[in-house]
């Protein structure tokens, strides 16, 4: 009888140890889950010279800033072996060009293209300036190797940061530039300045019972 009781007690102790171990492992796994980060990219500098078009908005020589917020949990909507296209939600991009300022009210595109000579970061943005619709393509040439290929799966920070942006010399050539279309007319201007980025951990909101 005592032998049977000891066997039963041993089984209970073993089960309790296994249960506690499993519970501890579940806590440990939950603790190492990566936190969600928000990527902030800031591009600022001087617009110009005019490479093609008539520049109806008069941006040549003006200062310009593009600020982007993107979740690092985004998946690409399109990708190849060397490029990825991400769709950013409305309001994710704010553009200031001279006295013109607008934030996106529709989805935008962020395209990252990794090449042997440069890592190219491009934004395709639709917005309105003084009630007039404007389509903007902002192309930025970063140093080759600024990203690893991991950026083709999820957005991430580039390094080094900040980096110097050199203006393109021709509308179709390498270098940073801004193309915009307004009133059916397309203009391309160079852009020189800096590109910087950072990532911050999103706050974890409490799961309060609202009932």
- pLDDT tens for residues 100-137? 888 899 999 999 999 999 999 999 999 988 888 999 99
| Res. 33: pLDDT tops 90 | no
Nearest to 44 by CA among 180, 185, 138: 138
Q: What is the pLDDT of residue 4?
A: 44
Averaged pLDDT for residues 37-63:
97
- SS3 state of residue 127: strand
Q: Determine the Cα–Cα distance for residues 105 and 121; give it in Å rounded to an integer.
A: 21
> How far from 126 is each of 101, 104, 169, 183, CA to CA, in Å?
12, 7, 25, 14
Task: Please determine, for residue 194, whether its predicted confidence score (pLDDT) is greater than 50.
Answer: yes
Q: pLDDT value at position 207?
A: 60
Note if the pTM is more than 0.75: yes
Let me know: does 171 contact 39? Beta carbons within 8 Å: no
Q: What is the pLDDT of residue 206?
A: 59
What gap in Å lies between CA 137 and CA 177, rounded to an integer? 8
Q: Which pair of structure tokens corresponds to residue 138?
A: 């902002």
Cα–Cα distance measured from residue 182 to residue 159, given in angstroms and rounded to the nearest whole number: 34
Q: Rounded mean pLDDT of the chain?
A: 85
Q: What is the structure's pLDDT at 116?
A: 97
Sorted by where each begins, the domain ranges of the chain are: 37-199
Q: How many CA atoms lie within 13 A of 57 on its CB side?
A: 34
Report the alpha-carbon distance of residue 119 to residue 112 in Å, rounded: 7
Residue 152 gets which letter from DSSP? G
Burial of 110 (0-12, 13-18, 19+ CB in 10 A): buried
Model confidence at 23, pLDDT cuts 50, 70, 90, reads very low
Q: From the CB of residue 124, how many other CB atoms can be counted at a distance below 10 Å? A: 18
């Amino acid at each position: 009888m005592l032998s049977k009781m000891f066997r039963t007690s041993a089984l209970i102790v073993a089960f309790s140890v296994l249960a506690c171990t499993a519970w501890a492992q579940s806590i440990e796994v939950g603790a190492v889950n990566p936190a969600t980060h928000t990527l902030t990219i800031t591009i600022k500098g001087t617009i110009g010279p005019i490479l093609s078009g008539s520049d109806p908005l008069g941006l040549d020589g003006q200062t310009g800033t593009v600020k982007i917020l993107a979740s690092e949990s985004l998946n690409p909507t399109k990708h190849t072996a060397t490029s990825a296209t991400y769709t950013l939600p409305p309001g994710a991009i704010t553009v200031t060009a001279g006295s013109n300022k607008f934030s996106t009210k529709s989805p935008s595109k962020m395209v990252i293209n990794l090449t042997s000579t440069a890592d190219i970061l491009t934004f395709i943005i639709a917005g309105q300036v003084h009630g007039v619709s404007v389509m903007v393509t902002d192309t930025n040439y970063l140093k080759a190797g600024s990203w690893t290929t991991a950026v083709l799966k999820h957005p991430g920070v580039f390094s080094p940061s900040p980096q110097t942006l050199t203006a393109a010399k021709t509308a179709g050539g390498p270098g940073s530039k801004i193309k915009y279309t307004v009133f059916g007319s397309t203009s391309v201007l160079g852009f020189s300045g800096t590109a910087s980025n950072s990532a911050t951990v999103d706050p974890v909101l409490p799961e309060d019972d609202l009932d």
